[in-house]
């Protein structure tokens, strides 16, 4: 995968940043909420919109879990987490080697208990139907239980990571390059080199029968905040690998409202509110700060798992059947 190798993780747990450990001691930390929309006057394009252009990463919150495991972190929790980080450093003392396997270390970390900031308990408010689907769900991997290529999700097949999963930090490829015109905003995602084009004009909405892996994005400016509404999702985004649909239970009727706000020269306050009456009992919100990194280089995403792994997985499945 581009410049670094990775361990394949199950698409349902990868979610969102459980890959890396949060290393407290060597880095400067900011408390969540320190970077919030305020009176910052952002730089502007020649046509007057806030200028979001550049390369941004979510590495400042790599390792922060999607959902909060506890209401508060105790001193013992932090001590255990520090010790895990120390052990990892002892096992991999040469940081020059780590860059082959993981994201380059960032000097800036933002401490927050979870990426979910609403509800206040940091938990995704799933419906009883969704919870049952999760409880009954058996992941399919390593050729076990696989009947055809359709049993593998789109990430396994190197087609797409999906949205909004791609916004969450993982162990690698956490970069987003934003370019703008007066009528469009485009985001180039390092993960599987997806490019999302967001129209800002008053164009007609897609017909409800037109469904897309990434949904359909429509943007507008509200003051200094870029607001993007995403609808028209496909229920095929994760195939049979994810209960009920595309993201944490959200399916074809999911609606996502994103807010991109430049709060200082180097930070975008990114918020996403997700709603789907079938999967969630109420809307809930993610907070993922994006940090500008002018030195970051996005290389080609060369995803060979889908090219070579598919034949091996299906052949293993055939052998398992016999």
Contact predicate 121/127, CB 8 Å:
no
Give residue 44's Cα distance to chain centre. Answer: 27
DSSP state of 149: G
In 3D space, the residue among 66, 119, 125 whose CA is nearest the CA of residue 280 turns out to be 125
Least confident of 70-74, 255-259, 298-302: 70-74
pLDDT at residue 310 in the model: 78
pLDDT at residue 107 in the model: 66
- The stretch 122-144 carries a mean pLDDT of 75
Contact predicate 247/256, CB 8 Å:
no
Contact predicate 175/55, CB 8 Å:
yes
pLDDT at residue 301 in the model: 85
- The stretch 261-274 carries a mean pLDDT of 97
Q: Is 110 helix (H, G, I), strand (E, B) or coil?
A: strand
Does 139 or 31 have the greater pLDDT score? 139
Res. 227 pLDDT band, cuts 50 70 90: very high
pLDDT at residue 246 in the model: 47
pLDDT at 148 over 80: no
Least confident of 91-105, 144-158, 188-202, 222-236: 91-105
Question: Which range, 20-29, 196-205, 313-322, is most confident?
Answer: 196-205
pLDDT at residue 36 in the model: 55
pLDDT at 248 over 80: no
pLDDT at 195 over 50: yes
pLDDT at residue 270 in the model: 98
Give the CA distances from residue 26 to residues 85, 99, 107, 126, 227, in Å, rounded to whole numbers and listed in that order. Answer: 10, 17, 8, 36, 35
Determine how β-strand 216-222 pairs with β-strand 225-231: antiparallel
pLDDT at residue 249 in the model: 65
pLDDT at residue 70 in the model: 66
CA distance 309 to 81: 35
pLDDT at 119 over 70: yes
Contact predicate 37/29, CB 8 Å:
no
Tokens 């969630």 — which residue?
280
Res. 21 pLDDT band, cuts 50 70 90: very low
CA distance 304 to 156: 10
In 3D space, the residue among 129, 153, 127 whose CA is nearest the CA of residue 12 turns out to be 153
CA distance 84 to 78: 10
CA distance 99 to 321: 40
pLDDT at 15 over 60: no
- The stretch 254-263 carries a mean pLDDT of 96
Sign of CA dihedral 212, 214, 219, 222: positive
- The stretch 87-103 carries a mean pLDDT of 54
- The stretch 58-67 carries a mean pLDDT of 88
pLDDT at 257 over 60: yes
């Amino acid at each position: 995968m581009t410049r670094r190798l990775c361990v394949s993780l199950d698409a349902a747990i990868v979610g969102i940043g459980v890959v890396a450990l949060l290393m407290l001691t060597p880095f400067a930390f900011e408390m969540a909420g320190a970077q919030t929309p305020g009176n910052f006057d952002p730089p502007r394009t020649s046509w007057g919109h806030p200028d979001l252009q550049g390369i941004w990463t979510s590495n400042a919150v790599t390792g922060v879990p999607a959902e909060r495991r506890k209401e508060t972190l105790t001193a013992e929790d932090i001590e255990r987490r520090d010790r895990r980080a120390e052990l990892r450093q002892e096992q991999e003392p040469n940081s020059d080697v780590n860059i082959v396997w993981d994201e380059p270390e960032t000097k800036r970390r933002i401490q927050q208990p979870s990426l979910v900031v609403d509800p206040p308990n940091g938990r995704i408010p799933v419906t009883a139907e969704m919870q049952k689907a999760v409880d009954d769900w058996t992941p399919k991997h390593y050729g076990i239980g696989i009947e055809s290529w359709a049993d593998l999700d789109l990430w396994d097949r190197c087609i797409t990571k999906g949205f909004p999963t791609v916004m969450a930090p993982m162990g690698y490829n956490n970069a987003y390059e934003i370019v703008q015109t007066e009528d469009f905003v485009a985001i180039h995602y390092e993960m599987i080199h997806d490019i999302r084009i967001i129209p800002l004009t008053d164009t007609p909405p897609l017909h409800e029968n037109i469904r897309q892996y990434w949904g359909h994005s429509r943007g507008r400016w509200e003051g200094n905040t870029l607001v993007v509404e995403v609808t028209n999702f496909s229920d095929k985004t994760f195939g049979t690998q994810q209960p009920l649909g595309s993201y944490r239970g959200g399916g074809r009727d999911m609606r996502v409202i994103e807010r991109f706000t430049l709060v200082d020269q180097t930070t975008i306050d990114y918020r996403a509110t997700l709603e789907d009456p079938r999967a969630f009992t109420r809307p809930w919100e993610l907070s993922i700060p994006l940090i500008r990194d002018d030195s970051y280089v996005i290389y080609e995403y060369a995803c060979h798992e889908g090219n070579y792994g598919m034949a091996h997985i299906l052949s293993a499945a055939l052998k398992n059947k016999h």
